[in-house]
Amino acid sequence: MVSGNLFHCRKNSWPPEEYINRNTLQLFDFDSAAPPEHAWRRKLNCNANLLREFSVTFREAIKMVRLGIRLWSYIREEASHGRKAPIDPFTRESCKPSAAQGVPLGGMGSGSISRGFRGEFRQWQIIPGTCEGSPVMANQFSIFISRDGGNKNYASVLAPGQHEGLGKVGDQGISSWGWNLGGQHSTYHALFPRAWTVYDGEPDPELKISCRQISPFIPHNYRESSLPTAVFVYTLVNSGKERAKVSLLFTWANSIGGISHLSGDHVNEPFIGEDGVSGVLLHHKTAKGNPPVTFAVAACETQNVSVTVLPCFGLSEGSSPTAKEMWDKMVQDGQFNRENFNSGPCMSSSPGETLCAAVSASAWVEPHGKCTIAFGLSWSSPKVKFLKGSSYHRRYTKFYGTSERAAQDLVHHALTNYKRWEEDIEKWQNPILKDEKLPEWYKFTLFNELYFLVAGGTVWIDSPLPVTNINENQRQLTNVEYTDVKVTEAEANNKQGTVVENTATGHHRSVKLDPQNDNEDVGRFLYLEGVEYIMWNTYDVHFYASFALLELFPKIELNIQRDFAKAVLSEDGRKVKFLAEGNWGIRKVRGAVPHDLGTHDPWNEMNAYNIHDTSKWKDLNPKFVLQVYRDFSATGDMAFGVDVWPAVRAAMEYMEQFDRDNDGLIENDGFPDQTYDAWTVHGVSAYCGCLWLAALQAAAAMAFQLGDKAFAEWCKTKYLKAKPAFEEKLWNGSYFNYDSGSSSNSKSIQADQLAGQWYTASSGLPSLFDDFKIQSALQKIYDFNVMKVKGGRMGAVNGMHPSGKVDESCMQSREIWTGVTYGVAATMILAGKEKEAFTTAEGIFIAGWSEEGYGYGFQTPEGWTMDGHFRSLIYMRPLSIWAMQWALNLPKAILEAPTINIMDRIHLSSFSSRSSQNESGVRKIATKAKCFGNSVFNCAC
């Protein structure tokens, strides 16, 4: 349940003093032990309420009944082949979602484990496309404290709550442990990629404990950010008058979530490593032919810290030793036998048996003294195997190899390098955190929304793209006809971190691609649309999310665009049944941007989405052109521009078929042919039409800069026809109508109507419309879609009638989409409406992330309804909050965009009347530049 004061005005300022005693904060004021000034906070004893999923209305259900029948049949057919359908609304997870999430562990793309704010290790995504939501309760930190004199002894799991079976007579499992933490004096503080848990006198009133969780998510560092490892640094402060012996215990089950621990053949073995790093390796043999996984749990032995291990214990009565015996040993001795390090690998587990390991680190803490104990966790699953057979090596194997013992090297690296990680993280975050102009809620939500780049099912492989010989590109490119554009060798070989002058525009491009190795091949990257929508790199959603990657990992962003550029020029003729209408088509049409890169064989079998035929969608191709131009403009990477240019041309030319009345505009086709795939569109639409206008301008600008004079003129000619037609058909004096049809919602106010303008402003291109229209439309959206929804405290509803009533023509029109709201806020910032922008975006924070909200922290859904029911948790699109940061701090290249409208620099000639339907222009540039080689024009992947 949501508390009744959700919509009461509250200043979203969360000073740590409201959560932790000021004296305790002062005690932790060293070695980063104190939580940061700006963070997302929770008390450990607050309830992790169950979340409420949306449901369709009766009218919506009637409309979708045929789709539902076809989808049900498709899901069953996929299941008969041992596959999970990418969209399955009929199957509910056994673990009901709750408001219990926290900062996930590890870097990007090597599998992820989330950790709830109460300490549970949950949301296991080690196998690509599989998410096990339930926590593995044997995975815990515990503490054992004894003081000189022996009068004050404490033993407790460092997680609150009552475990199932607690108090059962004779129980030998984890319910026999000391679950004694109340949590009322313990707090969690999250600032991704770090988190702090502070135990302020729990369980020992005279011992203050800070646990700092650190993962190697470091922008522009393409090595460390790929590592599957995390560190937990415990800082202990003894405020009592007696010396205390403190033993911390880290227990871990040989499991990858779900019931995987019961499958058998798992083996644990202890290790003693260099630099005092010692622990246990847990070798996990996965089921169903998936690649094996090895975990390493370890602690760092120092002069004051002693590390011991128990390589194996079980959770049932027949185990030797049992979980209860392990716990009793720690209560009595505070450590295990040193001889355990010499025990070697244990016997493999039997089916139905759970195999666990424990690492203990013990130290004496003097009266008023301090001590630090560091634990590490890593996991190594070097091979990614997709269901239809393709296998790859994860990126981290480039540095640590493919041995199962890489987990030991990873945990050693983590425990000996985490301080350097923290320095780099603070250097990245501090300029934003210390910016007094920014609201506090925005500062920490901006960073915390990045959780998705770890927990969004990401896969990062060490498979290079086709190698492009840039110098050869340049020699060939000089043979292409240029007017006043001069592409120098320095530009084509543009080095990251340098400033390159473009003689065509006279402005500088200075977005750094990588301050380290500028020639480094960073491999290929996948992330899910959402853990419930299992499709890789869903492109219409990436349009919103991509600002985060461009800002923080631009080489990954450019490689994703290269993947889609290659896909545009390919074709897959296999037949597919589209479930919305029951019609048939081919899987991938040449010239069409794919909806996604696939599910069970990404890159090789695209378009896993089969609700509609996305080759007829009107937003995908313009979105590709807009993203490519934004990335090209911001980075100044001329080689990237040359690589993707044939696909840009093909994508634009493909769209000509949808201009059926020759007015330069594309028309929608009376079905949901866009990212709003349940919201029907008729005729010209504000959303797709605006994207098309922006794409014409972007393609013209890119053609001009690459020297493709004929195509620049073709785009300009189209644009000059399309813009007045768009305004005539949709502008109503206040905003742009939803579409030019005559349906009941044609005059609806769509929150996302200026998506094209958002991208032109984000890319340094001239505005699509005069300032009055932009300001008026944004004000209308703010006044109606934002402020008429619970006083502006929920975000922007997608559709609103001009009467002030929510558009309920379909489930999506009545939803508030989190990522779209952030995108609308970014558009407002770019238009100088910062106050309205932050009020708009704050609604997402209040409803989704705040203490009074619905509990969507670290699992931001695609959207919610007016009563807070969610749809699709852990979703990609909310990464668009980084579009707000992009708008606030535009790159130098975009800030210094030419004052002369680039469209005015394109002079029309006889070229402008020529048809651009023939392939020769695209082929000429692609062949001469050798972007992908000649074979791409005959590719049928």
Euclidean distance between CA atoms 804 and 279, whole angstroms: 62
Q: What is the DSSP letter of 783?
A: I
For residue 481, name the pLDDT band (cuts at 50, 70, 90). Answer: very low
Mean pLDDT rounded to a whole number for the chain: 88
Can you state the percent helix, strand and coil of the chain, rounding each to 5?
Answer: 35, 20, 45
Kindly state the tokens that stand for 341: 């390090």
- Return the closest-CA partner of residue 939 out of 534, 591, 476: 591
Tell me the per-residue pLDDT of 621-666, one tens digit each, with 9 for 90 and over: 999 999 999 999 999 999 999 999 999 999 999 999 999 999 999 9
Give 182-249 as a DSSP string: --TTEEEEEETTEEEEEEES-SSTTEEEEEEEE----TT-TTGGG--EEEEEEEEEE-SSS-EEEEEE
Tell me the per-residue pLDDT of 922-934, one tens digit each, with 9 for 90 and over: 455 445 544 443 3
The domain in which residue 224 lies consists of 28-46+103-436
For residue 905, name the pLDDT band (cuts at 50, 70, 90). Answer: confident
For residue 567, pLDDT beyond 70: yes
Kindly state the tokens that stand for 84: 């999970």
Tell me the per-residue pLDDT of 331-346, one tens digit each, with 9 for 90 and over: 999 999 999 999 999 9
Residue type, 32: S
Residue type, 324: K
Euclidean distance between CA atoms 770 and 84, whole angstroms: 49
Euclidean distance between CA atoms 151 and 154, whole angstroms: 10
The average pLDDT across 262-279 equals: 94
On whether the CB atoms of residues 336 and 320 are closer than 8 A, the answer is: no
846 with 718, same domain: the answer is: yes
On whether the CB atoms of residues 882 and 551 are closer than 8 A, the answer is: yes
Strand-pairing partners, residue 871, are: 863
Residue 784 lies in a domain: yes
Euclidean distance between CA atoms 491 and 732, whole angstroms: 45
The average pLDDT across 659-684 equals: 96
For residue 169, pLDDT beyond 80: no
Measured CA distances, 30 to 59, 99, 605, 765, 882 (Å): 60, 32, 52, 47, 31
Q: Tell me if residue 447 falls in helix, strand or coil.
A: helix
393 with 531, same domain: the answer is: no
Give 804-856 as a DSSP string: S-B--SSTTTTSEEHHHHHHHHHHHHHTT-HHHHHHHHHHHIIIIISTTS-S-
For residue 80, pLDDT beyond 90: yes
Domain termination residue (choose one: 404, 436, 468):
436
Euclidean distance between CA atoms 429 and 38, whole angstroms: 11
247 with 393, same domain: the answer is: yes
Least-confidence region, from 42-51, 91-100, 891-900: 891-900
What is the per-residue pLDDT for 48? 77
Pairing of strands 870-871, 863-864: antiparallel
What is the per-residue pLDDT for 490? 34
432 with 575, same domain: the answer is: no
The CB density around residue 940, as the number of other CB atoms within 10 Å, is: 11
Tell me the per-residue pLDDT of 421-459, one tens digit each, with 9 for 90 and over: 999 999 999 999 999 999 999 999 999 999 999 999 999
What CATH number is associated with residue 359?
2.70.98
Q: How many CA atoms lie within 13 A of 172 on its CB side?
A: 12
Tell me the per-residue pLDDT of 790-825, one tens digit each, with 9 for 90 and over: 999 999 999 999 999 999 999 999 999 999 999 999
What is the per-residue pLDDT for 518? 62
Give 16-30 as a DSSP string: GGGTS-HHHHHHT-S
Phi, psi of 717, rounded to the nearest 5 degrees: -60, -45
On the 0-12 / 13-18 / 19+ scale of CB atoms within 10 A, 407 is: buried
Euclidean distance between CA atoms 541 and 819, whole angstroms: 9
Cα angle: 934, vertex 937, 941; to 5 degrees: 110
What is the per-residue pLDDT for 501? 29
230 with 349, same domain: the answer is: yes
The CB density around residue 338, as the number of other CB atoms within 10 Å, is: 12
On whether the CB atoms of residues 701 and 765 are closer than 8 A, the answer is: yes
- Return the closest-CA partner of residue 894 out of 504, 508, 486: 508
On whether the CB atoms of residues 84 and 78 are closer than 8 A, the answer is: yes
On whether the CB atoms of residues 139 and 251 are closer than 8 A, the answer is: yes
Kindly state the tokens that stand for 520: 């480094």
Report the Cα 693 to chain-centroid distance in Å.
29
Report the Cα 309 to chain-centroid distance in Å.
36
Residue 261 lies in a domain: yes
Give 747-760 as a DSSP string: T-EETTTTHHHHHH
Residue 488 lies in a domain: no
Residue 550 lies in a domain: yes
Residue 616 lies in a domain: yes
Residue type, 318: G
What CATH number is associated with residue 586?
1.50.10.10
Give 383-394 as a DSSP string: EEE-TTS-EEEB
Give 162-191 as a DSSP string: PPTTTT-TT--SGGGS------TTEEEEEE
Q: With the C-alpha atoms ordered 549, 550, 553, 559, is the resulting torsion angle positive or negative?
A: positive
Tell me the per-residue pLDDT of 721-746, one tens digit each, with 9 for 90 and over: 999 999 999 999 999 999 999 999 99
Name the domain count of the chain: 2
For residue 908, name the pLDDT band (cuts at 50, 70, 90). Answer: confident
For residue 511, name the pLDDT band (cuts at 50, 70, 90). Answer: low
On whether the CB atoms of residues 543 and 623 are closer than 8 A, the answer is: yes
Cα angle: 408, vertex 116, 128; to 5 degrees: 60
Q: What is the DSSP letter of 8?
A: S
Task: Please give, one letter per residue, the 3-state secondary structure of 520-548.
Answer: CCCCEEECECECCECCECCHHHHHHHHHH
Domain termination residue (choose one: 436, 467, 487):
436
Domain termination residue (choose one: 436, 464, 491):
436
What is the per-residue pLDDT for 141? 98
The CB density around residue 45, as the number of other CB atoms within 10 Å, is: 16
Kindly state the tokens that stand for 110: 């090597």
Euclidean distance between CA atoms 370 and 347, whole angstroms: 40
Euclidean distance between CA atoms 581 and 887, whole angstroms: 40
Tell me the per-residue pLDDT of 305-329, one tens digit each, with 9 for 90 and over: 999 999 999 998 878 899 999 999 9
What is the per-residue pLDDT for 899? 64
Task: Please give, one letter per residue, the 3-state secondary structure of 297-326.
Answer: EEEECCCCCEEEEEEEEECCCCCCCEHHHH
More confident residue, 857 or 50: 857
Q: How many CA atoms lie within 13 A of 17 on its CB side?
A: 4
719 with 590, same domain: the answer is: yes
On whether the CB atoms of residues 97 and 873 are closer than 8 A, the answer is: yes
The average pLDDT across 13-38 equals: 88
Residue type, 768: L
546 with 406, same domain: the answer is: no
Kindly state the tokens that stand for 252: 């871990």
Report the Cα 316 to chain-centroid distance in Å.
38
On whether the CB atoms of residues 902 and 766 are closer than 8 A, the answer is: yes
Residue 911 lies in a domain: no
Euclidean distance between CA atoms 27 and 35, whole angstroms: 12
Longest dimension (CA), the chain: 97
Residue 936 lies in a domain: no
430 with 536, same domain: the answer is: no
Cis peptide before 321 (omega within 30 of 0): yes
Residue 459 lies in a domain: no
